Every structure is written in C-alpha cells, then in structure tokens.
Structure 1
Amino acid sequence: MKHLTSFAAVALAAFAMTSCVSKKQFTELKSDYDNLQNRHAALQNDYNDAKVSIAKYSSTAKSLEERLAEEQKRNAEMKAAYAQLQGSYQNNVQQGNVNISKLVDEINASNKFIKQLVEAKDKSDSLNQALTNKLTRSLTREEMNDVDVQVLKGVVYISLADNMLYKSGSYEIGSRAGETLSKIAKIIMDYKDYDVLVEGNTDNVPISQKNIRNNWDLSALRASSVVQALQNEYGVDPKRLSAAGRGEYNPIASNATATGKQRNRRTQIIITPKLDEFMDLIDQAPDQEKQ
C-alpha cells in the first residue's frame, strides 16, 4: 500500500507537469484521493470490528447449542445413575440416601439450566421469526422482487438488490429505495436490542470511476451510504450501526452469467441480537465437578 501511494503521488505530480491541469485542479484531485484513502481505511476498520462481532455471536450461538446438548446428555446419565442407586437402595440404605439426595439436587439444577437454555434459544428464534414476518408483511409484491429476507444461524439477513438501491455505477442511493429503506428502518427501531451491520457486495466486473479505484471502494462506499441514510433520514441510532465492504469476494452465484452477476451485486443488512444476555446465561451454568 505504501508503494501504491508513492506511485500515485509521483503519477499525479508527473501528470500535473505534463498536462494542461492547473495547480488548483491538481491540488483538488490530490485532496480527493487522500480523502478517499482515509474513508476507505475507516470503513475497513468498521468492517473488521463488525466481522469480530458476527464471529463472536456465531461462536456464542454454537456454544449455546453445544452446552444444551451436553447438559441433556449429562441429565440422562444422572437419571440412569439415579435408577441404579434406587435398585441398590436396600443394600445400603443410609449411604444410598446421601447419594440419592446429592443426585436429585444435581438433576434439579441441570433441569433448571436446560430450561433456561431452551427458553433463551426459543426467545431468540421467536424474535427473529417475528422480525422477519413483520418485515415481509410490510413489503409490497414489487419490493419483494428486490428484497430477500432469511434467518441463518440466529442472524437475520436482509439482502437488497443494487439496481433498487443505487444509481447505476454509483454509491448514491436512488429515490426508488426510499420507501423500502424506511420500512426496514422502522423494524430496526422496533428491535432496539439488535445491532445492525450493513455489508456491500459487488460482482467481479472492474469499475473505473473518479475517486472509486476498485470494487473494494465501491462496496464499502455503498454500505456507508445505506448506514448514513438509516441514521440521517430515518433516525436509527448510529451506535447500533456498522458499515463494511466485501468487494467481489463474497459471491452467492457464479459471475459467469448476467443473472449471477446481478445476484452478487447486493447490499446486506445483517441484524444480530446483542451478546450480553447469552454470555450471562452461560456464566450461570451449574457446577459440573463431581462431588
């Protein structure tokens, strides 16, 4: 990147000396270039933070399911031990009473924790399903042609086609997108305990526009435009928002066809539950040390 910046600076200087571009125009171009570099770096930092948040949530959701399976298995083992103790109860009444009492306490604690895990998972699934249903019911049939809503691994993905959101070859949001974004923003504001990552994606066709060097820039700028619209036009708390660009490197279809390219040119609004309550729940797990 340092070599690229140096090369760009030399190229701009050479261009200024060998062309009709005025010193003022050269300074403006240089300023535009530097501003874009800074915006891209800031967006990339936001993207990295968002990736960590998504990875952390996915890991926590997986941990929750694994812990539920472990507790259910352990619960079954303790029930089997309880049955065995009951069978030998007549041989050692006093010792049996002690062991049975301890085992009953462990089983009760395990049952309580399993219930909490199931309730937490059911609550998360129910909220995600309610959010999805509420959004799809608010969209018109025409809007549904450009919007895809899915729930994957406890996360809600809203995928928006670029031809609905942006002006052609640009990161400026078009007038056609306003009503759809307003409906999505209302859902986001109704679910205040959710964080929101806006992620831009492109096809693999190179772009050549002023102040947009490549698809990395285009995808990040498009995500930033949606984030700023949610904040400035629809009142979403910016502390809940993150913007990220993935360029052409997260395709969902082959770029070998026009249809595949169209599917890959999309912006995803990813809505994720906050992790605090899940982490607190895992911390409440009963002690599994043998007594």
Structure 2
Amino acid sequence: MSKKTRHEPHEEHADESWLIPYADLLTLLLALFIVLYGMSSTDAKKFEDMSKAFSVALNGGSGVLDHSSIDGSTKNTPQENEIDPSSSKNISKSRSQLVRQEQIDLEKLKQRMDQYIKSNGLSAQLNTKLNQSQLTITISDQALFASGLAVVKPESQQLGIAISKMLESFPDYDIVVSGHTDNIPIDNYQFSSNWDLSSSRALNFMKILLSDGKLDPRKFVNTGFGEYHPIAPNDTEAGRAKNRRVEVSVIRKYQNETAAQTVSVAK
C-alpha cells in the first residue's frame, strides 16, 4: 500500500492593500512636517517656494498655503483691506476745496456787510468779525430798540431786511441770533430779568430776518444770554453800551485756523 502524501493546507495571505493609502499618508505627514519646519525659518523666500510646491503636489496648484503669509495671517485682496491712496487723496482734496469755498463765502458776506455799514454811516452801531468758528455781525441795541423794550423800531426793520437779503446768497449756513444786555437789573411790566429781555430781543430780530420767507427757518436758532457774555467792562456807560447788543452769527461747517489767521478783523 502506497503511502499517501499529506498536504498541509495553504496559509491564506493577509490583505495588504491598506499599505498603499498608509504609505500615502506617511508621505503627506512628512511633507507637512517639512512645511512646518519651513514656517519656523526666517527665510521668507524659501517658505514661499516650499508652500507653492506643496500646494501643487496636493491639489494641482492652489491651496490654503497660497494665501498664507509667513506669520500665519491670511492675505486678502487689496479691495478688501487696503485703502486706495488715490481715494484718500481725493477725500482730502475735496475737504480742502470745501474749506476754501467756505472761507470765500464768509469773506464775501463780510465784505458786503462792511460795505453796507460804510455806505449807511453805521460804523458806530454795527461791526463784523470773522474767526475760525463763525462770522459775527454785532448790532448795538440803540440801532434796534428803545431803552428797556424788545420791539424792533420801525425805522430799524430795514436793517434786518438788508441783512436777510445778504444771507439769502448763502443759504446752507446755520445762523444763531443772540441777545445780550448789560448788568443793570431790569424789572418792568414786560420783563422780570435781563434773561427775558435779551431772549425777546433776539427772537424779534430773528423774525424780521425770516419775514420775507426766502430763508430756511430750520437753519435759525435764537437765544438770550442776558448779562453773562459781556464784551466790555460794565463799570462805565461806554462799556455797558457795548454789551447791550444783538449778534447774528453765521456758523462755519469747517474750521480752518490757517485761513482765519489771514482774515482782517473789523474792530
């Protein structure tokens, strides 16, 4: 009897297909560590070259690294976070033009008012002053009111109308009409204090400025300061006379100290 040869069962080989993605993963990790090492280097050019090469290897040319700077911050397009120098220059230029135009406007208004004062012999009762904040037209109370009263004298209403017509050429400016008194207390049947008298005088004169309906009332405000904003000492009659006044102030929209220094101020 022949001896039968016994065959050992074949061992089944394990599936080794996982080795391929594993090797790819190791390759990517190695590349990542190389990039991280490169990021710690101070050589920006080497990092840029390395990041480009790595991006090409991973996804065909574009990747997150293409948009990363050496300090890890994200680069944006100039439109997103950069100010166009020419745009900034245009803004500055535009403001400069507005300041110049405002200075021209107020100087022109002052010249017209000064000419009116000179032509009508009102130098003792009116004056103008232009500074970095406003153009102020100061009117003595004697030119407008009887003593202790707030009603504008009929013969003085023409002055308010004349000022109003000059203001019509410059409608965009805010106007403040303010009343002022000396420090001698008043207490009559109409007014119990200098506050009341100064406020009523400012209001009544403002109404004359607005009487022809060509100026925007929204641009106007009136206020009374009483005796508390003097421009001269109240210890003499001449000083008190200067303090009794109405002021029409044309307010600047732009302050320009340099231009203001070149303006001649009427005294």
Question: What is the TM-score with the length of structure 1 in the denominator?
Answer: 0.55
Coordinate RMSD, CA, aligned? 2.4
Q: Secondary structure at the match of 1:120?
A: helix
Residue in 1 that maps onto 2:228: 249
Q: 1:108 to 1:236 in 2, by over 3 A?
A: closer
Query: Which structure 2 residues correspond to residues 191-270 of structure 1 after superposition, within 5 A?
Result: 191-232=170-211, 236-270=215-249
In the alignment, what sits opposite 2:113?
135
String of CA shifts for 1:84-122, please: whole Å, max 9, x gaps. Answer: xxxxxxxxxxxxxxxxx9xxx865444333322321211
Deviation at 1:150, TM superposition (A): 1.1
Q: Give the aligned partner of residue 115 of structure 1.
A: 93
The answer to whether the 8 Å contact 1:147/1:159 transfers is yes
* Contiguous gaps of at least 5 residues in structure 1: 1-100, 279-291
> Cα 1:110–1:234, aligned 2, differ >3 Å: closer, same or farther?
closer
Aligned mates of 2:84, 2:219 — CA distance in 1: 40
Q: Which moved more, 1:224-233 or 1:213-222?
A: 224-233
Among all aligned residue pairs of Structure 1 and Structure 2, give the percentage whose two residues are the same amino acid: 25
1:18-97 equivalences under 5 Å are none
Give, as a single letter, the amino acid of the residue that structure 1 aligns with 2:240. Answer: K
CA distance in 2, matches of 1:163, 1:254: 18
The structure having more radius of gyration, on CA atoms, is: 2
Q: For the Cα contact (< 8 Å) 2:232–2:242, is it kept in 1?
A: yes
Q: Which amino acid aligns with 2:207?
A: Q
Normalised by the length of structure 2, the TM-score is 0.59
Matched-pair contact (CA < 8 Å) for 1:223–1:243:
yes
More helix by share: 1
Number of residue pairs matched? 174
> Is the Cα–Cα contact under 8 Å of residues 202 and 215 in structure 1 kept in the other structure?
yes
Contact 2:171 2:216 in 1 (8 A): no
d(CA) in 1 for partners of 2:86, 2:218: 41
Work out the CA distance in 2 between the residues paired with 1:145 and 1:257. 17
Does the CA-based 8 Å contact 1:182-1:234 persist in structure 2? no
Note the residue ranges of structure 2 that are not aligned, 5 or more in a row. 1-77, 255-267
SS in 2 for 1:271: strand
Please name the residue that 1:63 is paired with: none
Whether the 8 Å contact between 1:199 and 1:269 is mirrored in structure 2 is: yes
State the secondary structure of the residue aligned to 1:144. Answer: coil
